């Protein structure tokens, strides 16, 4: 229950609309109960008045009939208004919750999200937040409305017979307290199991869809499909268990309500207030008690929604309550203009007992072109992730233009760097959308600039048709080849025009011709900029000012291409084999 408090606090933003929804819900219940009780009294009173001619002639048929019509209209209108108000409040709350959770998620670094699967994170952002809409719509509003109706019923029935009012409201209050509480504990495990099995199925389904190419190539589709069927079977079993508990709760509610009707029938049969025998008042009290089923029915499912909401809130809190491990300066400092980089005594590891970089020292002067070479796992990409502040070093200092990177705001740091990696991510959008990421506040006025950059990186083939920038690239840019995707990455870097250019295996997996073209473009872009390139290949090493060979998390030897060829046997043999 405590896990729900942060989300209940968010309700104040929609307090007015939530109050309107509650008011209309109570109005609907009042109209419904009033309609049935008045109808019962009217029918009974009419039957009694018809026993004698004198009573029939003096009986007022029009006022009760008008009351029935009025309550019918009120019930219909208030029910419609209640649906509008409660759903408007719910959707607004969901919007607010999603924005709030997303703002909590954005500052989290790779370390914070380490070990969290993408499908699980997506499930928390979508399904768990969707589950929280029950908190207001299925829990708070029905429970509050039924409690307020008990107060109204006490005063209404008490006007005729205080003893009957106390008995009726005591029975209803006992049902209101005991039924949800009992079935909350009874249905807690099935409710949590239902959420967890649904989450597991969604995660496996997402991974299955994302890995279709690999599963097809290696013939592993059947194995993963069997896992999906098994997860689906487990989810269905958990839903069946929950349905059995739900059915039992509804049966208990109907049984308790039937007991309340029989009890009121028995007690009112001897007289209602001063009316002995009770006459039409007996029908009014009995029909009123029967009508309370409408306000008590949501109690049957309240336990189910409560356990689901509590479980969803707990899972969301695991993310939103984390303190970001990487923070940035709040106020702007000096802008990065030259782009000099310095790393002193850097230690780093992804795990506490793991060392990836150890005592690393590296100085890159402004405008210098530097290459980092080394075997897989020596810490090259880790060094790049420290520069972009995806991770923080365990020890040591990292400075840009003489200022510690922690002194820069996130916007300043991002604007100072252009990153081209071996995997260019293309969003499911148009060509314009994927290029405009690199231009802050891009508009259609920048289309000429985008077209010029595409021509410069050799993507004239994409500039076909009347509106080439509106070409839809699809999820991950599946319509483009690997070389074309890399060229779009280079185009983004050209549009960014930052003083620091970071290259992480930009030509990995490309053929020699495409590799030379990509590197030519990158070196043109790097003119006058600070460039740091990570590579396994030795293409264009003669154009580098300095080459550092890394080994086991530190720099083993440094020099330019000709110096390393003559002084380092490993580099010379590597160059002969690869270049």
The structure tokens listed for 200 are: 């597991």
How many Å apart are CA 263 and CA 433, to the nearest integer?
69
Residues 172-194: pLDDT tens digits?
999 998 888 888 888 888 888 88
Establish if 334 belongs to a structural domain: no
Q: Which two tokens stand for residue 393?
A: 């070093």
Question: Does pLDDT of 564 surpass 80?
Answer: yes
Question: How many Å apart are CA 385 and CA 421, to the nearest integer?
Answer: 11
> Within this chain, do residues 163 and 218 fall inside the same structural domain, yes or no?
yes
Q: Does one domain contain both 145 and 203? A: yes
Mean pLDDT for 130-149 is 87
105 pLDDT tier (thresholds 50, 70, 90): confident
> Which of 287-319 are b and which e, b meaning 16 or more Cβ less than 10 Å from the residue's Cβ?
bbbbbbbebbebbbbbbbbbbbbbbbbebbbeb
Q: Is the pLDDT of residue 579 over 70?
A: no
Q: Please check the confidence at residue 150 and state whether its pLDDT lies above 90.
A: yes
Q: Do 416 and 312 reside in the same domain of the chain?
A: no
Which candidate, 65, 46, 71, places its Cα nearest to that of 57? 46
Q: What is the pLDDT of residues 362-392, one digit of tens each?
A: 999 999 999 998 888 888 888 998 998 988 8
Do 281 and 360 lie in a common domain?
A: no
Q: Say how far apart CA 28 and CA 295 lie, in whole Å.
A: 10
Residue 459 within a domain: yes
Residue 326 lies in a domain: no
Residue 418 and residue 493 in contact, taking contact as beta carbons nearer than 8 Å: yes
pLDDT at residue 259 tops 90: yes
348: nearest Cα among 321, 327, 378, 374: 378
Query: Averaged over 305-309, what is the pLDDT?
Result: 79
Residue corresponding to tokens 């107060």: 151
- Per-residue confidence (pLDDT) for residue 5, from 0 to 100: 82
HSE-up of residue 441 (Cα within 13 Å, Cβ side): 0
Same domain flag for 351 and 430: yes
54 vs 294, more confident: 294
Residue numbers of the domain that contains 469: 341-578
**Does residue 345 share a domain with residue 314?**
no
- The whole-angstrom distance between residue 420's C-alpha and the CA centroid of its chain comes to 28
Residue 398's DSSP bridge partners are 343
Q: List, for residues 487-518, the tens digit of each pLDDT value.
A: 888 888 888 878 999 998 887 777 788 888 88
Q: Where does a domain end: 261, 287, 320?
A: 320
Same domain, 254 and 196: yes
Give the domain-ending residue among 264, 288, 320.
320
pLDDT attached to residue 539: 81
Examine the pLDDT at 21 and tell me if it is beyond 90. yes
Measure the CA–CA gap between 235 and 9, rounded to whole angstroms: 32
CA gap 107, 241 in Å, rounded: 39
Distance between the two ends of the chain, CA-based, in angstroms? 64
Whether residue 313 is found in the same domain as residue 372: no
Residues 235 and 361 grouped into a single domain: no
In terms of domains, do 425 and 554 share one?
yes
CATH number of the domain where residue 136 is located? 1.20.1560.10
Residues 256 and 313 in one domain: yes
CA R_g for the chain = 35
Reply yes or no on whether the pLDDT at 319 is more than 90: no
- In tens, the pLDDT along 397-456 reads 999 998 889 888 888 888 889 888 878 888 888 888 888 888 887 788 888 888 888 888
Give the least confident one: 157-166, 455-464, 473-482, 553-562.
Answer: 473-482
Q: How far apart are CA 501 and CA 371, in angstroms?
A: 12
The residues near 533 (Cβ < 8 Å, ≥ 6 apart) are: 369, 370, 371, 372, 503, 506, 522, 544
Place 578 in a pLDDT band, splitting at 50, 70 and 90: low
> Measuring CA to CA, how many Å separate 374 from each of 361, 369, 379, 386, 547?
16, 17, 8, 18, 11
pTM of structure: 0.75
Query: In the chain, what's the furthest Cα-to-Cα distance?
Result: 127
* Residue carrying structure tokens 């499930």: 123
Residue carrying the six token digits 């709030």: 100
Which of 30-44, 242-256, 432-446 comes out lowest in average pLDDT? 432-446
Mean pLDDT across the chain? 87
Q: Which of 320, 349, 380 is the last residue of a domain?
A: 320
In the chain, how many domains are there?
2
CATH number at residue 471: 3.40.50.300
DSSP string, 355-377: -SEEEEEEEE-TT-EEEEE--TT
**Residue 278 pLDDT level (bands cut at 50, 70, 90):** confident
Can you read off the two tokens belonging to residue 464?
């076909």
How would you label 338-377 residue by residue, b for 16+ Cβ within 10 Å and e otherwise? ebbbbbeebebbeeeeeebbbebebebebbbbbbbbbeee
Closest CA to 301 of 422, 187, 377, 408: 187
Do 238 and 361 belong together in one domain? no
Written as six digits, the tokens of 572 are: 């010379």
| Contact by Cβ (8 Å): 176, 147 | yes
Does some domain include residue 332? Answer: no
**Which is more confident, 278 or 252?**
252
Q: Is residue 329 part of a domain?
A: no
Q: Is residue 23 part of a domain?
A: yes
Nearest to 42 by CA among 288, 393, 331, 326: 288
Is the alpha carbon torsion for 518, 520, 525, 531 positive or negative?
A: positive
Q: Is 326 helix (H, G, I), strand (E, B) or coil?
A: coil
Q: What percent of the chain has pLDDT over 90?
A: 29
Averaged pLDDT for residues 124-131: 82
Examine the pLDDT at 24 and tell me if it is beyond 70.
Answer: yes
The predicted pLDDT at position 575 comes to 81
Confidence of residue 467 (pLDDT cuts 50, 70, 90): confident
Q: What is the pLDDT of residue 1?
A: 66
């Amino acid at each position: 229950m405590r896990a729900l408090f942060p989300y209940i606090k968010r309700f104040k933003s929609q307090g007015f609309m939530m109050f309107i929804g509650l008011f209309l819900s109570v109005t609907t219940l009042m109209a419904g109960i009033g309609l049935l009780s008045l109808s019962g009294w009217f029918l009974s009173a009419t039957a009694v008045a018809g026993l004698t001619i004198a009573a029939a002639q003096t009986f007022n048929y029009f006022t009760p009939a008008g009351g029935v019509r009025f309550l019918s209209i009120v019930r219909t209108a208030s029910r419609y208004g209640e649906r509008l108000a409660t759903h408007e409040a719910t959707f607004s709350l969901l919007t607010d919750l999603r924005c709030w959770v997303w703002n909590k998620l954005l500052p989290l670094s790779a370390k914070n999200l380490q070990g969290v699967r993408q499908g699980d994170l997506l499930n928390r952002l979508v399904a768990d937040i969707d589950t929280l809409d029950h908190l207001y719509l299925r829990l708070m509003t029905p429970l509050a409305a039924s409690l307020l109706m008990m107060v109204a019923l006490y005063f209404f029935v008490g006007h005729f017979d205080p003893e009957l009012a106390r008995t009726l409201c005591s029975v209803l209050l006992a049902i209101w307290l005991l039924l949800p509480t009992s079935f909350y504990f009874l249905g807690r495990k099935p409710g949590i199991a239902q959420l967890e099995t649904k989450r597991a199925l969604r995660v496996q389904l997402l991974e299955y869809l994302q890995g279709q190419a690999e599963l097809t190539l290696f013939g592993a589709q059947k194995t993963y499909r069997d896992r999906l069927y098994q997860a689906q079977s487990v989810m269905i079993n958990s839903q069946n268990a929950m349905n059995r508990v739900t059915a039992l709760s509804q049966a208990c509610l109907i049984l308790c309500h039937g007991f309340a009707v029989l009890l009121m029938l028995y007690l009112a049969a001897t007289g209602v207030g001063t009316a002995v025998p009770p006459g039409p008042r007996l029908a009014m009290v009995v029909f009123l008690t029967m009508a309370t089923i409408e306000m008590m029915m949501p109690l049957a499912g309240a336990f189910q929604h409560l356990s689901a909401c509590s479980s969803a809130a707990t899972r969301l809190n695991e993310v939103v309550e984390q303190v970001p491990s990487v923070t940035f300066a709040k106020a702007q400092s000096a802008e990065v203009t030259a782009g000099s980089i310095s790393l002193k005594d850097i230690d780093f590891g992804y795990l506490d007992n793991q060392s990836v970089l150890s005592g690393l020292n590296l100085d890159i002067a402004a405008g210098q072109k530097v290459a980092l070479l080394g075997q897989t796992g020596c810490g090259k990409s880790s060094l790049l992730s420290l520069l972009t502040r995806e991770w923080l070093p365990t020890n040591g200092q990292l400075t840009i233009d003489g200022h510690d990177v922690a002194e820069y705001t996130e916007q300043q740091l991002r604007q100072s760097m252009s990153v081209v990696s071996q995997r260019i991510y293309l969003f499911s959008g148009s060509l314009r959308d994927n290029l405009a990421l690199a231009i802050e506040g891009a508009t259609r006025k920048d289309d000429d600039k985008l077209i010029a950059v595409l021509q410069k990186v050799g993507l004239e083939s994409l500039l076909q048709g009347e509106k080439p920038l509106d070409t839809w690239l699809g999820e991950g840019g599946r319509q483009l080849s690997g070389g074309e995707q890399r060229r779009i990455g280079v185009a983004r870097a050209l549009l960014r025009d930052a003083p620091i250019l970071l290259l992480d295996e930009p030509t990995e997996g490309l053929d020699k011709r495409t590799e030379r073209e990509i590197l030519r473009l990158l070196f043109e872009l790097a003119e006058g900029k600070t460039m740091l390139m990570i590579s396994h290949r030795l293409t264009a090493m003669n154009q580098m000012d300095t080459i550092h060979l890394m080994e086991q998390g530190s720099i083993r030897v440094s020099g330019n291409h000709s110096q390393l060829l003559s002084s380092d046997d490993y580099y010379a043999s590597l160059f002969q084999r690869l270049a």
